[in-house]
Chain A
């Protein structure tokens, strides 16, 4: 069934088709339609779930953790300040190995108040132990939401689906909505390996001394390492059943490209358009879209970017005092490549707080990159008034 729906409703549909059992959420622009739609689905019986309308995002995540620890499939959605408020519990969810799925609508953080898209909210949660999957279209949002549960429950890690404020959250696109039976076959009910169970009592999350804490963190790290392969397998199965696949990293017209753009989120769609135009003019420009940010797809990026002469990484985010976060990660991933294949990495900070990243901006980035044999600086700000 095809429906024209906004990105936020694609999230709701995904959670519904995944048969989330406990949903706990708190409203924040631009996430509100996700939870409004889900509460209607619960109210009219289309979704059999308990919906906890808690008093904060911190409690929303705590409730998801309690539900997940008791064996339920738990879901929430948030954005920006809500995600920041959850921070402590994001660590708790990952450290507790709870396969919670959450959608985060990328929004800038205040002050000043800004409700528009910016990836700094989710990227600030980089080190919490959550898998992070960025989306480009509403179809990808819906598909990723359902796949996220399968992935989370396979590796016992929480998964964050990330989508741009307004460009996806509030923009309607045609989305193919899979049949419930087909989704059920892909994603059976959760079978928790460990849970709070009065017939088999255990304590979870107790004090752990220095003699065992590191081993537990190593297990978390190993689960993250496994996630790359598991995600590929989950996607292959999704493709077999539903005919669509995205890839942790996607190469677009990247063959023999001398300059590769690296993008994430909706900037990717604009970049595809610009790359097509450049290719028409026989310019060797291509694109690599990063969907998976954690675990970072290091090998995949080395394989795709290694050999290009130049790489231009676009960051709609900022780590003040350092720069764009994707470019920093990309530089670190490629540092070990032999010098002959290691591209020069040009970082560009663009589109903060929802500023439009137009084809003109991307053209400027391409031209500036090609004009400079070595990067001008680590991060060049484009589309910013002096």
Chain B
């Protein structure tokens, strides 16, 4: 899609301000900016501890023009359930309650509360911006960290040993009405998915890959390109899943790019041997094939 066409399809109104506190090149504020453009001002954001707790600005400032509740690390989905319940009691069925959490707050410490909310099918939109580690506390591994990656708790001599948790499959097993994956490299795709999610009632889950220059060790200006490559080399497939059972790829085309360049431009993978890259590739291929089977079964 040409730049002009993309600009035409991205709403111009802003619900996020400049002056936020993200590092240069961080994908997380861009993701928030796009998501809020699609949701509009009738949105309440619930935010567990994460880099975004800083990005949002210290008291008495806020980089968001919508109500924002900062909450404890593991409580995003539970706190949002309470917000939703209060709005319901006030007869407000229209305001979107959105959780904005990192991968740690979603895959790890907040998973129990998220599972509970998803099982109850709470009417909330849960967005996980995934930078594949605990960035706020200095790049420690999470269960979203890919196998082989360096983090500050998985040194290059003993890099991350287990494969990334398949959070989308975990959520699909809860049979919630809508799950989608997205990245900032495909803003129109992201906007469309958020708009679709907004119109659905029940628990909706959006998984956004969010490259982090200091944590992944790549130059600030490469964020969008990295997000694009992650999709193109099938590390991060763009998907939609309805009711946990109808899986669909949402990429414009399905040509595959090699994995090597994606890994080689990130310092966190600099130590990988060819053998380890082959292992990485086989993780990616195995997951892709598994998703293909879900998609095929949905048709």
Which residues of A pack against B, CB within 8 Å? Answer: 21-22, 24, 48-50, 52-56, 58-60, 62-72, 74, 88-89, 92, 196-198, 201-209, 212
Q: Could you tell me the distance between the alpha carbons of A65 and B86 in the complex, rounded to whole angstroms?
A: 10
* Residue B88 at the chain A interface, CB threshold 8 Å: yes
* Residue B116 at the chain A interface, CB threshold 8 Å: yes
Q: Could you tell me the distance between the alpha carbons of A55 and B174 in the complex, rounded to whole angstroms?
A: 14
Q: Does the CB pair B82–A66 fall under 8 Å?
A: yes
Which B residues, 78 to 107, have Cβ-Cβ distances below 8 Å to chain A? Answer: 78-90, 95
B14 smallest CB distance to A (angstroms): 13
Interface bits B56-74 vs A (CB < 8 Å: 1, else 0) = 1111111011111111101
Which residue of the partner chain A has the closest CB to B83? Answer: A66
- CB within 8 Å for A208 and B79 given contacts A21-B86, A52-B85, A63-B85: no
For A208, give its contact among B59, B119, B120 (CB under 8 Å).
Answer: B59
Q: Does the CB pair A72–B89 fall under 8 Å?
A: yes
A265 smallest CB distance to B (angstroms): 30
* Residue B266 at the chain A interface, CB threshold 8 Å: no
- CB within 8 Å for A202 and B62 given contacts A52-B120, A62-B113: yes
Q: Does the CB pair A67–B68 fall under 8 Å?
A: no
A225 smallest CB distance to B (angstroms): 23
Q: Could you tell me the distance between the alpha carbons of A203 and B45 in the complex, rounded to whole angstroms?
A: 9
Q: Count of A-B contacts with CB under 8 A?
A: 163
Q: Which 8 A-B pairs have the closest CB atoms?
A: A66-B82, A55-B116, A70-B86, A59-B78, A63-B82, A205-B70, A72-B86, A203-B62
Which residues of B pack against A, CB within 8 Å? Answer: 41-44, 46, 53-54, 56-62, 64-72, 74-75, 77-90, 95, 112-113, 115-116, 119-120
Residues of A within 8 A of B87 (CB): 70
Q: Does the CB pair B53–A22 fall under 8 Å?
A: no
- CB within 8 Å for A201 and B78 given contacts A207-B54, A208-B58: no
Q: Does the CB pair B89–A69 fall under 8 Å?
A: no
Residues of B within 8 A of A202 (CB): 62, 67-68
Which residue of the partner chain B has the closest CB to A89? Answer: B72
Other than the given A62-B113, A72-B82, A203-B67, 17 more pairs (CB < 8 A) read A24-B81, A24-B82, A53-B120, A55-B115, A58-B78, A63-B78, A64-B82, A66-B83, A68-B82, A70-B82, A88-B72, A89-B72, A196-B67, A197-B67, A198-B66, A201-B41, A208-B59
